Amino acid sequence: MDGGPDSEPPPAARGRALETLTRPLAVAGGLLSLAAAAMVVTSVLLRWLTVHSVPGDIELVQIATGLSIFAFLPLCQAQRGNIMVDTFTTWLPARAQRGLDALWDVVYACAAAVIAWRLAVGAADTIRSHTVSMMLGLPIGWVIAACAVMAALLMVVALATAWRLVRGRR
């Protein structure tokens, strides 16, 4: 490594940009999941001890779960943590395996783009129509919009991991 402008960054620095963006998002998703779990426990205990529960607990769990899942996906992709089935490709040279993995990352990016697009359309519709949740009356369009943004981030991360593979890095 000559340290010139075209030299590759060290392995630890390669994914740092993606992790800087995706890790805090995943941590927020984890905290949201914990908050939802705590609310479920509270609601069940209230139902057991009294005849009441946390109002809108099901709505809150649905919203928290959707947001959490979309918050986890970009970090999982950045770390290449998705399940891969390579039963039929292990005999290929490493470069060919990376090429196939890059291809599937691009396919995943395309799927994430379609999901982001449709979520954005749905968010615009629900915001425009002032759609709210049934029990608590929470505006759900903004939740859908947040999921659309995270799906778009997933698309960017999948393209970045594909590019990394094409460049010969895992």
Domain span at residue 76?
11-82+92-166
Q: What local confidence, expressed as pLDDT, does residue 92 receive?
A: 87
* Within a domain: 2: no
pLDDT bucket at 7, cuts 50 / 70 / 90:
very low
Number of domains in the chain: 1
Which percentage of the chain shows pLDDT scores above 90?
72
Amino acid at 47: R
* Within a domain: 142: yes
By C-alpha distance, which of 73, 82, 76, 77 is closest to 149?
Answer: 73
Task: Return the higher-pLDDT residue of 11 and 114.
Answer: 114
* Within a domain: 107: yes
Q: What local confidence, expressed as pLDDT, does residue 3 receive?
A: 46
Are the C-beta atoms of residues 75 and 20 closer than 8 Å to each other?
no
The pair of three-digit structure tokens given for residue 88, joined into one six-digit string: 């039929």
* Within a domain: 3: no
Are the C-beta atoms of residues 138 and 132 closer than 8 Å to each other?
yes
What mean pLDDT comes out for the span 74-97?
85
Q: What is the pTM of this model?
A: 0.85
Q: What is the pLDDT of residues 40-80, one digit of tens each?
A: 999 999 999 998 999 999 999 999 999 999 999 999 999 98
What mean pLDDT comes out for the span 84-103?
85
